[in-house]
Amino acid sequence: MKSVTTVCGKISGDEMGYTLSHEHLIVSPEIPDKKYDDYRLLDVDLMCAEVEKFKEKSGKTIVEMTPLNYGRDPLKYKEIAQREDINIICCTGFHKEEFLPKSAFELSESDLINMLLEEINNGIDSTGICPSVIKCGTSYNNITDTEKKLIKVVAKVHTLTGIPVSTHCDKGTMMLEQGEFLVKNGVKSENILLGHTDIQKDVNIQLEALRRGFNILTDHVGRELDDTDEERIRRMEIMIREGFVNQLFLSGDMGKKDYITTYGGKPGLDYILGIFKDKFVKEIGKEYFDKITKDNPKRFFSF
Ligand SMILES: [Zn+2]
């Protein structure tokens, strides 16, 4: 039977409730460069306080998309989940080339496949905490040879386990190419969630991805000025009108101090279920919002 694996164990899809499909709670790019300091979120207390606000807006589940070599910390996710009584799903897999661990370049495809299978079946670094989504990424307007190798690895791990694939499309580029390369390597489009697609402002590319059966994530919500969210809602309305509501997902990808209110940033993890939801419901309707933030994640993350 299908279920969803959280950092605290298995739950049924029905228990997921309102879900943010791509966030970062504890994260720290493992590159010793000051320019990434703002991307380091390491404080459990501050993040618990932030999650509290998400919960006040009826939030129930957060998908933590920090991959290998990016400061992933399953034990801290579990601590936050237990303290705040929410569901956290964590991930395995890889970011784009800039953030890859040495092992991604040095190990063979089959060794990498075994490494990821070990995490999925037995837990990450002997914590017993298992990931429930697998990530792959591509660079800006380019898929490097190593990224291609890793996409093949991710595709193989998916076909062996059924774990859903959620991706990083750098600044919204290469979404069709990346998706098609996964399909070519055996992943059905319905099991692929293309990430950061809303940075690509041409709705026709998003529509093309949807026509090919991919799920797409609007995950830069609240990042810029309010009128940009109006634009996001307008584009989502077009995609819904074209009949694709079942393939849409929402999140904020707020992996930076600038975006988390308890670190002094905005809009914060409560924004999508608060201000953004109000706007969306007014323009498009609550049943569609619930489909995108409840029904679709429940279907996609259950395997
Ligand atoms: Zn992210």
**HEC assignment per residue over 128-154:** CCCCCEEEEEEECCECCHHHHHHHHHH
* Residue 130 alpha carbon to ligand 1 centre in Å: 19
Does position 55 have pLDDT exceeding 80, yes or no?
yes
Does position 214 have pLDDT exceeding 60, yes or no?
yes
* Residue 255 alpha carbon to ligand 1 centre in Å: 6
pLDDT category of residue 227 using cuts at 50, 70 and 90? low
* Residue 251 alpha carbon to ligand 1 centre in Å: 10
Tens of pLDDT, residues 65-123: 999 999 999 999 999 999 999 999 999 999 999 999 999 999 999 999 999 999 999 99
Average pLDDT on 182-192 reads 98
* Residue 89 alpha carbon to ligand 1 centre in Å: 14
Q: Note the pLDDT of residue 138.
A: 97
* Residue 220 alpha carbon to ligand 1 centre in Å: 10
Supply the DSSP symbol for 27. Answer: B
Q: Note the pLDDT of residue 43.
A: 98
For 283, other C-beta atoms within 10 Å of its C-beta total 13
The alpha-helical segments, DSSP class H, found in the chain are 44-56, 74-84, 102-106, 109-122, 145-161, 175-184, 203-211, 226-241, 277-283, 286-290, 296-301
* Residue 21 alpha carbon to ligand 1 centre in Å: 10
pTM of the full predicted structure?
0.96
Average pLDDT on 187-208 reads 95
Domain map of the chain by residue range? 4-301
* Residue 23 alpha carbon to ligand 1 centre in Å: 6
Q: Note the pLDDT of residue 200.
A: 86
Average pLDDT of the chain to the nearest whole number: 96
Does position 224 have pLDDT exceeding 90, yes or no?
no
Does position 5 have pLDDT exceeding 60, yes or no?
yes
For residue 78, report the phi and psi dihedrals to the nearest 5 degrees. Answer: -65, -40
Q: What percent of the chain clears pLDDT 70, i.e. is strictly above it?
A: 99
DSSP-assigned beta bridge partners for residue 89: 63
Supply the DSSP symbol for 256. Answer: S
Tens of pLDDT, residues 263-299: 999 999 999 999 999 999 999 999 999 999 999 999 9
Q: Which of 190, 91, 86 is nearest to 137 (CA)?
A: 91
* Residue 168 alpha carbon to ligand 1 centre in Å: 7
Average pLDDT on 30-51 reads 94
CATH class of 4-301: alpha beta
Token pair listed for 49: 């306080």
For residue 2, report the phi and psi dihedrals to the nearest 5 degrees. Answer: -75, 145
* Residue 261 alpha carbon to ligand 1 centre in Å: 17
More confident residue, 1 or 129: 129
Residues 6+ apart with CB under 8 A from 119: 92, 130, 131
Does position 39 have pLDDT exceeding 90, yes or no?
yes
Q: Range with the lowest mean pLDDT among 15-29, 84-98, 129-143, 216-230? A: 216-230
d(CA 228, CA 121): 41
Token pair listed for 160: 């062996």
Average pLDDT on 150-158 reads 98
SS3 69: coil
Residues 6+ apart with CB under 8 A from 112: 103, 104, 150, 153
Q: Note the pLDDT of residue 226.
A: 56
